[in-house]
Structure 1
Amino acid sequence: MPATADHAFVVPAYGDSPYLEACLRSLAAQSSPSPIWISTSTPSPQIAGLAARYGARLVVHTDAPRGIGHDWNLALVTASARWVTLAHQDDVYLPDFARETKAAIAQEPGAVLVMTGYGELVGEQRRIMTPMLAVKWILQEVGFLGTSVIRSRASKRRLLMFGCAVPCPSVTVRKDAGWGVFREDLRLNLDWDAWTRAADQQGPFVRARKLSMLHRVHAASTTSDGVLSGRRATEDLMMFQRFWPRAVAALLARVYRLSYSAGG
């Protein structure tokens, strides 16, 4: 694996998250270090102090906050690296995340995206299997058919047509792959939409199976809020209609919703 792999972490920081330090600490502790950037339009002494403590380069955007899609798009252009992991500020990246990701990039340098295995973090408790995680795992197996690389458009779309099987915080994207930017009118499924467009581009999707990061689940998270508000159901239906007739899409959206209500 090249020591100079063109990869960076960018943390889209919003407000004074109580979890930001744990995220930055995990990025600074990588066994194969990559540069760390913080992108924010809500600067604060806390964010600046944590950036200095963990050796992260802080970029402050002067335009007013306009939502998660806008934050992610700003973060993508913050670092000059060809490959970027948008490290979610609530989440924790295990020590070999960057090593696993860069090894996958070295194996498939023309990939559109690389994703890793992931679990959940509730408080300080790790959850390796929940109804939602089980659904994601099954969808990944259907998409990848037991392999670590899928190349055809049909295979990449198969990964996404029964639900979003790509765990967003584990994803590293190749910025010049031609998939565009995140839609700023979506609040929850902007990643699913982006990966669907990425599936249309040349280049494979790559999966590093090893569990390499933990997605934090808490009541104030965007995902939890979206489920409670009903926004998730609306955006899920919209995405399923990209793949299926309306009646089938509605049925799949209802089934998909059960995995969230069951504690995913």
Structure 2
Amino acid sequence: MNKDINTNHTFAICAYKESPYLEECIQSLMNQTVKSDILIATATPSKYIDDIAAKYNLKVYVNHGEHGITQDWNFAYSKAETDYVTIAHQDDKYNPSYVENLMAYTKNAKRPLIFFTDYAEIRDGNIVESNKLLRIKRIMLFILRPKSMWGSRFARRRVLSMGSPICCPSITYYKPNLMEPVFLNGFRSNEDWEAEERISQLDGEFIFCNKILTYHRIHEDSETSKIIHDSKRSEEDYAMYRKFWPSGIARILTKLYSSSEKSNNIK
């Protein structure tokens, strides 16, 4: 087998409407030092998506069933025929060595659950590697840097009990060791945190690569930015904190978390 091809990993791109960043995302996946399968999944089929897919010879899967962020993510996840799956967000980009590091870090894992990396933001076309939110998240994830902590259920649940510092598009899921569906309907902003909480209860490893290998784009039209102004966000934050804390502490943490997440606003 060609060492520069990972036949057991898929980038499943969730495409929605006509994102001007979709092609840039695809190019970052095509330019990986180790090649993987790439597919596009969408609930909003269009000539725009089809034309870009044809340009790069990628297959497009259309979700004709129930729509919504969790439904669309589960649909994209289900179309990958490999054990390792990364749900790539159409607005984001990946460092060329993402898959190379995925292979290196998971090579000797006993029971992988998820692999994830540090990340930077893209604001107004510029890569931002450090700001208040990113620094806080790195502090939260510090305990998961050593390989010896990857299998600690206690450590990862303590991390998640304070919020989710894990960059969602940086996550690669190992399907054989995970539950189905991975994402539960009902969450719009914390669907990734909710999935991480359930996965954290499983026997296995949270494999953290302390390198900036994912670039998350912050812009006014992104789903993250829109949800910041939605009251349902606070409701979901509170529901997640209640999985770890009594109601009084959960309310305090919800207010603090809401304040910190405002940095996702492009303004």
**TM range, normalised to the smaller chain?**
over 0.9
Asked whether the equivalents of residues 2 and 106 of structure 1 are also in contact (C-alpha less than 8 Å), the reply is no
Q: What is the aligned partner in structure 1 of residue 18 from structure 2?
A: 16
Which letter maps to 1:56?
L
Q: Tell me the CA shift for residue 263 of structure 1.
A: 5.4
* TM-score (norm. length: structure 2): 0.92
Asked whether the equivalents of residues 4 and 35 of structure 2 are also in contact (C-alpha less than 8 Å), the reply is no
In structure 2, the CA distance between the partners of 1:77 and 1:263, relative to structure 1 (3 Å rule), is: closer
Distance 1:102 1:229 in 2: 38
- Consecutive aligned runs of 4 or more in structure 1 exceeding 3 Å deviation: 1-5
Q: Tell me the CA shift for residue 231 of structure 1.
A: 2.3
Asked whether the equivalents of residues 120 and 129 of structure 2 are also in contact (C-alpha less than 8 Å), the reply is yes
SS in structure 2 of the partner of residue 232 of structure 1: helix
Q: What is the aligned partner in structure 2 of residue 97 from structure 1?
A: 98
SS in structure 2 of the partner of residue 176 of structure 1: helix
Asked whether the equivalents of residues 8 and 79 of structure 1 are also in contact (C-alpha less than 8 Å), the reply is yes
Q: Deviations over 1:164-199 (max 9, x none)?
A: 021111000011223332012110100000011001
Asked whether the equivalents of residues 131 and 263 of structure 1 are also in contact (C-alpha less than 8 Å), the reply is no
SS in structure 2 of the partner of residue 107 of structure 1: coil
Q: Tell me the CA shift for residue 113 of structure 1.
A: 0.2
Asked whether the equivalents of residues 224 and 264 of structure 2 are also in contact (C-alpha less than 8 Å), the reply is no
Distance 1:15 1:263 in 2: 22
Q: Tell me the CA shift for residue 121 of structure 1.
A: 0.2
Q: What is the aligned partner in structure 2 of residue 162 from structure 1?
A: 162
Asked whether the equivalents of residues 21 and 90 of structure 2 are also in contact (C-alpha less than 8 Å), the reply is yes
Q: Deviations over 1:95-115 (max 9, x none)?
A: 111111121121315210000
* TM-score (norm. length: structure 1): 0.94
SS in structure 1 of the partner of residue 236 of structure 2: helix
Asked whether the equivalents of residues 36 and 55 of structure 1 are also in contact (C-alpha less than 8 Å), the reply is no
Which letter maps to 1:247?
G
Distance 1:127 1:140 in 2: 19
In structure 2, the gaps of 5 or more residues are none
Distance 1:10 1:251 in 2: 37
In structure 2, the CA distance between the partners of 1:30 and 1:211, relative to structure 1 (3 Å rule), is: same
After superposition, where does 1:236-251 map in structure 2 within 5 Å?
236-251=237-252
Q: Tell me the CA shift for residue 131 of structure 1.
A: 1.7
Q: What is the aligned partner in structure 2 of residue 108 from structure 1?
A: 109
In structure 2, the CA distance between the partners of 1:4 and 1:217, relative to structure 1 (3 Å rule), is: closer
After superposition, where does 1:226-245 map in structure 2 within 5 Å?
226-245=227-246
What is the count of residue pairs matched by the alignment? 261
In structure 1, the gaps of 5 or more residues are none
In structure 2, the CA distance between the partners of 1:158 and 1:18, relative to structure 1 (3 Å rule), is: same
Distance 1:151 1:248 in 2: 27
SS in structure 2 of the partner of residue 10 of structure 1: strand
Q: Tell me the CA shift for residue 4 of structure 1.
A: 4.2
**Percent identity over paired residues:** 33
Asked whether the equivalents of residues 63 and 72 of structure 2 are also in contact (C-alpha less than 8 Å), the reply is no
Q: Deviations over 1:43-91 (max 9, x none)?
A: 1111111112223222122235x21000000001111010100000110
SS in structure 1 of the partner of residue 139 of structure 2: helix
Q: Tell me the CA shift for residue 132 of structure 1.
A: 1.4
Distance 2:110 2:48 in 1: 37
Distance 2:134 2:255 in 1: 17
Distance 1:3 1:35 in 2: 9
Asked whether the equivalents of residues 7 and 102 of structure 1 are also in contact (C-alpha less than 8 Å), the reply is no
